[in-house]
Structure 1
Amino acid sequence: MKRAALLDAAEAVLFEHGTAALTLSAVAQRAGVSKGGLLYHFPTKEALIRAMVSRVIEEFDALVESLDDGSPGSYTRAYVRATFHVLGGADGGRTRRRWSAITASATDPELIAPLRQAMARWHHVDPAREPDPVTAMVVRLAAEGLWEVISHAPDVYDEREWQALEHRLLAMAAPTQDTPPNPAEAPPNPDPGDPPNPAGTPHRT
């Protein structure tokens, strides 16, 4: 049996029965293989969980990369499209994949470390790639919130609402000629008591 099918079985056990039920015996039974057959691929429960985490990261990385054309703002738009592609999947299998990986690894800092590193990488993007870095952060965080909502309430949005959400987030991430100024880069306000400042004349100190 392929590793992917064994990982699918582990995710199903976890999603349907909870963390305590995730044992090698339960996964082997769900996959329809002997425990020895499972141990050939994953000699320990920790090895199984590491593979679950790695699959989540590798699949999402590959999907975002395939959608990112390198243009201004394209990374965030690719992140949004990848999120909606996964969460809008018909079988729901990949919808629960990230939830399963997080849940299985959450109690072990070593097991969850790769996912934390990936999350930091997904959300700390070079500002030079974004026409409006702050709006891009807001868009990615909104998309990130969908993972949590859909993992627990997959039918909360109908098709019309789902399409409207994706369209709005993509529009927010689109490059425009009227990018709002960054308050962090604005010059300090002059002292209210200062006289009008002619162009090129420094304020008094």
Structure 2
Amino acid sequence: MRKNALLDAAESLLSEQGTQALTLAAVADRAGVSKGGLLYHFPTKEALVQALVGRVIEDFDDLIGSYIDDTPGAYTRAYVRATFEILTGEARAYRRWSAIMAAATDPELAAPLNAAMRRWHGHPDPSDPDPAASAIVRLAAEGLWEVVSHAPGLYDDEQLAALERRMLALLDR
């Protein structure tokens, strides 16, 4: 069985039932493999959570990269677009992120996310005409993500689209 199928099973358990449901036995059962089959790829629950965290970080990095262009300040616009794709996209991927981050409460398990946050929010963009405005917009996007994670449905799609347009407009000043 591929690692990604095992990670998908773990994510679905986390999203549907919360962190208490994330056991190696439950993941193996959900994936339709023996516990030994799971242990071959992930010898501990911590190794499984580390892989989940790594995968969501990689996915977000790829999404940011898909929006990067060669205009001044492109990184923050890409960050905002990637954030809103996760918040409003068909899969509403913020739910998966929230569940995985809840499972990574141990400081060692959260270390890759902490490093990614430093990279995403401390991203040097020499072409950025207003680094302070860009930092404020990235922080606002991060805060919105946090709010939506804890209060799904607080903003409807129209409101989220308006917020995205406004954040992007702040970068074009």
What's the TM-score, normalizing by structure 2? 0.91
Structure 1 residue 131: deviation in Å? 1.1
CA distance in 1, matches of 2:86, 2:150: 15
Which position in structure 2 is the counterpart of 1:132?
130
Structure whose alpha-carbon radius of gyration is higher: 1
Unaligned runs of 5+ in 2: none
Structure 1 residue 75: deviation in Å? 0.5
Moved over 4 A (4+): none
Secondary structure (helix, strand or coil) at the match of 1:157 reads coil
Deviates more, 1:111-120 or 1:158-167: 158-167
Which position in structure 1 is the counterpart of 2:28?
28
Which position in structure 1 is the counterpart of 2:156?
158
What's the TM-score, normalizing by structure 1? 0.78
CA distance in 2, matches of 1:91, 1:134: 32
State whether structure 2 residue 9 is matched by structure 1 residue 9. yes
Q: Is the contact between residue 19 and residue 99 of structure 2 (CA under 8 Å) also seen in structure 1? A: no
CA distance in 2, matches of 1:142, 1:89: 19
Deviates more, 1:142-151 or 1:163-172: 142-151
Q: Is the contact between residue 89 and residue 95 of structure 1 (CA under 8 Å) also seen in structure 2? A: no
Q: Is the contact between residue 15 and residue 96 of structure 1 (CA under 8 Å) also seen in structure 2? A: yes
Structure 1 residue 23: deviation in Å? 0.8
Query: What root-mean-square deviation, in Å, do the aligned CA atoms of Structure 1 and Structure 2 show?
Result: 1.6
Structure 1 residue 17: deviation in Å? 2.6
Task: Note the alpha carbon deviations across 1:43-96, whole angstroms, 9 max, x for none.
Answer: 21111011001101111111111211132111000000001111212233x222
CA distance in 2, matches of 1:114, 1:121: 11
Task: Note the alpha carbon deviations across 1:6-44, whole angstroms, 9 max, x for none.
Answer: 212212222333323211001112222221221222121
CA distance in 1, matches of 2:100, 2:121: 19
CA distance in 1, matches of 2:41, 2:17: 23
Which position in structure 1 is the counterpart of 2:170?
172
Task: Note the alpha carbon deviations across 1:122-155, whole angstroms, 9 max, x for none.
Answer: 0012263321111111110111112212223332
CA distance in 2, matches of 1:18, 1:101: 9
Secondary structure (helix, strand or coil) at the match of 1:129 reads coil
Q: Is the contact between residue 24 and residue 35 of structure 1 (CA under 8 Å) also seen in structure 2? A: yes
CA distance in 1, matches of 2:36, 2:138: 42
Which position in structure 2 is the counterpart of 1:102?
101
CA distance in 1, matches of 2:20, 2:152: 23
- Amino acid aligned to 1:74: A
Q: Is the contact between residue 73 and residue 125 of structure 2 (CA under 8 Å) also seen in structure 1? A: no
State whether structure 2 residue 122 is matched by structure 1 residue 121. no
Deviates more, 1:10-19 or 1:133-142: 10-19
Q: Which has the higher helix share?
A: 2
Secondary structure (helix, strand or coil) at the match of 1:143 reads helix
Identical pairs, percent: 60
- Paired residues, what number? 173
